[in-house]
Structure 1
Amino acid sequence: MKNRLATAAISVIAICVVLAGCAGSAGDDENPDAGGSDSQGTIKVANIMTSSGALAANADTVRQTWQYAIDEVNEAGGAGGYDFEFVEMDTDASPAASVRAATQAVTQEGASILVSFQTSPENAAVNPQLAALNALSINTVAQDDGLRGASCSPNAFNIVQSNSMLFNTLAGQIDDFDGEKWAIMSVDYSVGHGGADAFAAAAEESGKEIVSQQFAPLNTTDYGSYITEIQRSGADALLLIMYGPDAEAFVNQAEQYDLASQIDTTLTLNVITDQSFESLGDKVLGDYLIKQYDAAADNELNQSFVDGYTESFGTPPNDYAGNAYIGAQALFAAVAEAESDDPEAIRSALSGMTFDSIAGSVEIRADDHQALTPTYLAQVVEGDDGLAFEVLSTIPGEESAPEPSSECTL
């Protein structure tokens, strides 16, 4: 297996400088924000996302993080002799619309790197088109195991952890949760079904009972019947997989139904972020969550990112921001190594690459293009300045990731 270790540095800017011999001074007479005068060219990164509905808030976080990372590396002179341009495209998150947007981004806008597809069905639809488009996809959001299996692509790279990796975080720890009868309440989407299946398998292996499974469509506003079903099931523990406004609506309505008086343990995925503390408040105090990124990780790269991001946006980076930034770090390190804007050369550099990131040293497996980033079990606690996350355990990606799927042929 390839093992190309990017030299440690204090920021993604330094990764570029150390590895690539990046262009010198940033800026030019026409555009002071552009890459250095020695730039060999510009690599266009197309951000394809939805701007409405339950996914919009997370999509905007991913968008602003990619823009932040690109501005940062360009100010340092680029990577591998190239600077980067951010192209923004809008989609309704349907597979067909996202394929059209991807095609337009490449053929009309000149993009060769596609990022920010929010859902697994979008990624599964775009992946088969990547070779013909001569483009690469860097997935930092969609968690479905199938994207690492039958729907994998030689031109697609998964930075975000898969459902299996996320729920393998609980290995050996479900026994420690109060409650024996679990209800699963999830968004009716591939990530929800995949997450529910992964959790059910882990729970049953630990001797827990699944007494209810329900799936609500995206953008549901009334959860009364779902909450009533949970109460009737006799559940004393709850797994909640939801996004943005959907999660907020469920949590608020659960309080109205006094669901907490019956539920000893609530475990969440994609529900609670630093940004949602204000709206959810004490209703999530004590809840557990599976995290994909730890803003408190003690390394120089991470602290530099957290400080810069917080100064720019007034809030610390959440899981979506963390994964997007790691995706950008992977891209810049690959371009630095390839010293080329050719997608095939960048793909070759990414496959099997090991690079320093805000989550520590990360390998992108050559067999299925899955990044082996750590996962975290955390709990919402009362911190010095309000609600905060306390990380209870950290599971290295090498331990949480299943073996590469035989259905993935690269």
Structure 2
Amino acid sequence: MKYGNPLKGVLGAFAAVVAATAIMLPSTAIAEDIVIGIFVPTTGALAPLGTDMLNGYELAAKGATVNGNAIRLVVEDSAAKADVGLRKAQKLVLEDKAKILVGGASSAVVLGINAQGARLNVPILSTNSQAVQTTGEQCSKYLFRTNPNDAMMAKANGILMEERPEYLQKKWFVVFHDFVWGQSNKAEFAKIPGINIVGEAGRPLGTADWSSAISQIQSSGADAIYMALAVGDDMPSFIGQVRSFGIDAFMLPPLGMPDSMLQAVGENAAGMTAGGLFASWMSEDKNPAMKKFVEDYVAAYGIVPGPQAIQAYAGMQLTIEALKQAASLDTDAIISALETTSVDSVIGKLQIRKEDHQGMVGTYMAEATMLPDAPHGAKIGWKVIKDIPWDAIKIDLADTGCKGL
């Protein structure tokens, strides 16, 4: 009698089971985190601004996924220096494999990274670069901006002065940070029809002693000061020193300041008005999405969100939605999605103008107001006087300086 190999039969049956199982089980790809590279200043004069932005990004990305893949933020400190920012951007793309770069705070950093956009070959989205060049003369297929720019803010300040004509009658002194953004901002302010500028003083970022500039203000006979100062440690220092010299001139900041600083300046900031405010947490009484965001922000960070934190949150909302809508995670697909995606963000509908990659957003007319009841612990806040929509402040494509993407 011949007997077959019993082991052969067992192995054959086992193989058949494995094959059947393989057919029944769906094929699944290994999930990988989608990296978003964040470049903000966490040290240096603009660190308070960078911290606000980072808080907004982190809160918006918390728990977010794209097609089952987790979003992971990798953060690098740009120190608000163009050379440092570029090195960190290269690291985020080459080593951390970031699919998109998000951040800013300094227009010089954003423009420096954009100059190498083709080599980096990833989209770059800024929620705080204000220099007109960003979506103007230096526009590119890689660079996107979701916040209002200097020209839009100047239009908003023009609207402010139409509504409060007494401001237009004042003699203005412009104090500015002498670098890309400060020069851009003061140039746009000077374009406001009928504005009377009697003097100006430029100082480098990181200036601690403003006494020489204050002497120039006193000598000019100005009764109003426009502060084209980057929103960092310098601005509250300047305001405090101006008041300590006994100067009670009206002061107009281009967009306000982070609420962490506003609280520190306190009564010295009361009465300041802004036509180009990015956003205000005090709109929570009319905006349920803002109310929820403010509650979450205060719970996470113990302070109300400033304008830059709000813009950062909205920009990250758009970024994540675009990644979801993209046909793939290839650069061209993400760029295409950013150009066509709109999102109901914390500041309302947010969408990019495809032709120059400028965010189609408005600004807010607001006044720094003392808050006796201290909601969320805030003793002072930007009380919104009027919403200024995109259509009122947009710059026509022919006037942007962008020659095409």
TM class, shorter-chain normalised?
0.7 to 0.9
Choose from 353, 361, 365 the match for 1:373.
361
Shift of 1:40: 4.6
Distance 1:256 1:113 in 2: 45
Choose from 282, 287, 293 the match for 1:296.
282
Which range moved further: 144-153 or 352-361? Answer: 352-361
Are 1:357 and 2:345 matched, yes or no?
yes
Tell me what 2:392 maps to.
Answer: 399
**Percent of aligned positions with the same letter in both sequences?**
26
Q: Kindly indicate whether the alpha-carbon contact (under 8 Å) linking 1:42 and 1:85 is maintained by their aligned counterparts in 2.
A: yes
Unaligned runs of 5+ in 1: 1-36
Tell me what 1:239 maps to.
Answer: 226
* Aligned AA (1:251): I
Distance 2:160 2:389 in 1: 15
Tell me what 2:312 maps to.
Answer: 324
Shift of 1:119: 1.3
Shift of 1:381: 1.7
1:306-347 per-position Cα deviation (integer Å, ceiling 9, x unaligned)? 111111111111111111111111111111212532222111
Tell me what 1:287 maps to.
Answer: 272
Distance 2:67 2:223 in 1: 55
* Aligned AA (2:205): L
1:207-240 per-position Cα deviation (integer Å, ceiling 9, x unaligned)? 2310011111111011111011111101111111
1:54-108 per-position Cα deviation (integer Å, ceiling 9, x unaligned)? 11111112122212222242xxxx1344321111222333222222211111111
Tell me what 2:152 maps to.
Answer: 165
Q: Kindly indicate whether the alpha-carbon contact (under 8 Å) linking 1:112 and 1:134 is maintained by their aligned counterparts in 2.
A: no
Distance 1:389 1:67 in 2: 23
SS in 2 for 1:392: strand
Q: Kindly indicate whether the alpha-carbon contact (under 8 Å) linking 1:43 and 1:84 is maintained by their aligned counterparts in 2.
A: yes
1:336-387 per-position Cα deviation (integer Å, ceiling 9, x unaligned)? 2125322221110111332211111122100111111120111112223232
Tell me what 2:72 maps to.
Answer: 85
1:278-324 per-position Cα deviation (integer Å, ceiling 9, x unaligned)? 32121111111231012233333322211111111111111111111
Are 1:53 and 2:38 matched, yes or no?
no
1:115-145 per-position Cα deviation (integer Å, ceiling 9, x unaligned)? 2232112111211322332211110111000
Shift of 1:270: 4.7
| CA RMSD across the alignment | 1.9
Number of aligned residue pairs: give it: 364
Taking structure 1 as the reference length, what is the TM-score of the superposition? Answer: 0.84
Unaligned runs of 5+ in 2: 1-27
Distance 1:387 1:108 in 2: 43
Structure index of larger Rg: 2
Taking structure 2 as the reference length, what is the TM-score of the superposition? Answer: 0.85
SS in 2 for 1:52: coil
* Aligned AA (1:287): M
Tell me what 1:118 maps to.
Answer: 105
Q: Kindly indicate whether the alpha-carbon contact (under 8 Å) linking 1:255 and 1:283 is maintained by their aligned counterparts in 2.
A: yes
Which range moved further: 296-305 or 323-332? Answer: 296-305
Which range moved further: 243-252 or 322-331? Answer: 243-252
Tell me what 1:194 maps to.
Answer: 184
* Aligned AA (1:82): N
Tell me what 2:173 maps to.
Answer: 183
Q: Kindly indicate whether the alpha-carbon contact (under 8 Å) linking 2:63 and 2:71 is maintained by their aligned counterparts in 1.
A: no
Shift of 1:271: 4.9
